[in-house]
Structure 1
Amino acid sequence: MNILHIAPSVRIGGVGSLLAGLLPRLDRERFRCEVLAEADPAGPGANRRALEAAGIPVRPIPPRVGNLRENLRAVDAALCAGSYDAVHLHLEEWSALYALLARRRGVPARIVHAHLAGVRLPFRFTARRLARPAALALLRGFMRREATHRAACSADAGRWLFGDAPFTTLPNAVDTARFGFSADVRRRTRAALGLGEAFTVGCAARFDQQKNLPFLLALFAELRRREPDALLLLAGDGEEGPALRAEAGRLGIAGAVRFLGAREDVPALLQAMDAFALPTRYEGFGIALLEAQAAGLPCFAPDGAVPREAAVTGLLRLLPPGLSAAGWAGEILAAKGLPRRCRAEEVEAAGCGAETAARRLEALYERCRAERGRGL
Structure 2
Amino acid sequence: MKQKKPIRVLHVVGAMNRGGTETLLMNIYRRLNHQQIQFDFISYSSEEADYDQEIRSLGGSVITLTKTNSIREIYHAIKHYGPYAAIHAHTLFHCGVAMTAGYLAGVKRRVSHAHTTKDEGNSIIRKSYKPTMRLLIQLFSTHLLACSNHAGHYLFGRRGLSKQTYAYFPNAIEYTHFLYKDHKQVEQFKREEGLSNQRIIGHIGRFIAAKNHQFLLEILKACRQKDPTVMLILVGEGKLQKELQETAKQEKLDQNIRFLGLRTDIPTILHTMDVFLFPSIYEGLGLVLLEAQASGLPCIVSEAIQPEADLKLGLISRISLQEGPQYWADKIMNMVYKREKNTMKVKAAFEKNGYSVSLAIAKLMDIYISDSGGVYEEKNIYRLL
TM-score (norm 2): 0.85
- 2:10 counterpart of 1:16: no
Ranked by relative contact order (alpha carbons within 8 Å, sequence separation 6 or more), the top structure is: 1
Amino acid at match of 1:283: E
Equivalent-residue separation in structure 2 for 1:294 and 1:161 (angstroms): 29
Is residue 296–residue 315 contact of structure 1 (8 Å, CA) maintained in 2?
A: yes
Equivalent-residue separation in structure 1 for 2:141 and 2:36 (angstroms): 22
Amino acid at match of 2:135: G
Shift of 1:273: 1.1
The residue that corresponds to 2:168 in the other structure is 169
Q: 2:139 aligns with which of 125, 145, 149?
A: 145
Shift of 1:223: 0.9
Shift of 1:238: 0.6
Equivalent-residue separation in structure 2 for 1:311 and 1:40 (angstroms): 36
- 2:151 counterpart of 1:157: yes
The residue that corresponds to 1:188 in the other structure is 188
Is residue 61–residue 75 contact of structure 1 (8 Å, CA) maintained in 2?
A: no
The residue that corresponds to 1:215 in the other structure is 215
Equivalent-residue separation in structure 1 for 2:141 and 2:367 (angstroms): 14
Q: 1:32 aligns with which of 35, 38, 50?
A: 38
Identity %: 27
The residue that corresponds to 1:315 in the other structure is 315
Equivalent-residue separation in structure 2 for 1:339 and 1:139 (angstroms): 44
| CA deviation map 1:94-119 (0-9, x unaligned) | 110111112222222211011111x1
Amino acid at match of 1:135: Y
Is residue 347–residue 353 contact of structure 1 (8 Å, CA) maintained in 2?
A: yes
Corresponding residue SS for 2:232? strand
* RMSD, matched Cα: 2.2
The residue that corresponds to 1:374 in the other structure is none
Shift of 1:174: 0.7
The residue that corresponds to 2:270 in the other structure is 270
- Structure 2 unaligned segments of length 5 or more: list them: 1-6, 374-385
- 2:12 counterpart of 1:6: yes
Shift of 1:77: 2.9
Is residue 11–residue 41 contact of structure 2 (8 Å, CA) maintained in 1?
A: yes
The residue that corresponds to 2:58 in the other structure is 54
Corresponding residue SS for 2:323? coil
Equivalent-residue separation in structure 2 for 1:227 and 1:134 (angstroms): 50
Corresponding residue SS for 2:87? strand
Shift of 1:188: 2.7
- Structure 1 unaligned segments of length 5 or more: list them: 372-376
Amino acid at match of 1:54: L
Is residue 115–residue 157 contact of structure 1 (8 Å, CA) maintained in 2?
A: yes
Equivalent-residue separation in structure 1 for 2:33 and 2:145 (angstroms): 20
Is residue 78–residue 105 contact of structure 2 (8 Å, CA) maintained in 1?
A: yes
Equivalent-residue separation in structure 1 for 2:274 and 2:264 (angstroms): 20
The residue that corresponds to 1:364 in the other structure is 367
* Residue pairs, 1:224-263, within 5 angstroms: 224-263=224-263
Shift of 1:321: 4.7
Shift of 1:53: 4.0
Amino acid at match of 1:359: A
Amino acid at match of 1:77: H
Equivalent-residue separation in structure 2 for 1:72 and 1:142 (angstroms): 12
Corresponding residue SS for 1:269? helix
Amino acid at match of 1:96: G
| CA deviation map 1:57-78 (0-9, x unaligned) | 1414146xxx536x76653332
| CA deviation map 1:1-58 (0-9, x unaligned) | 42111111211121110110012324546533222224474x453x344434433x14
| CA deviation map 1:216-238 (0-9, x unaligned) | 11111111111110001111111
Equivalent-residue separation in structure 1 for 2:98 and 2:182 (angstroms): 46
Of 312-321 and 95-104, deviating more is 312-321
Shift of 1:182: 0.4
Equivalent-residue separation in structure 1 for 2:322 and 2:238 (angstroms): 25
Distance 1:318 1:58, change over 3 A: farther
Distance 1:151 1:335, change over 3 A: same
| CA deviation map 1:125-166 (0-9, x unaligned) | 7xx266544322121111111212111111111111111212
Shift of 1:191: 2.3
TM-score (norm 1): 0.87
Shift of 1:196: 0.9
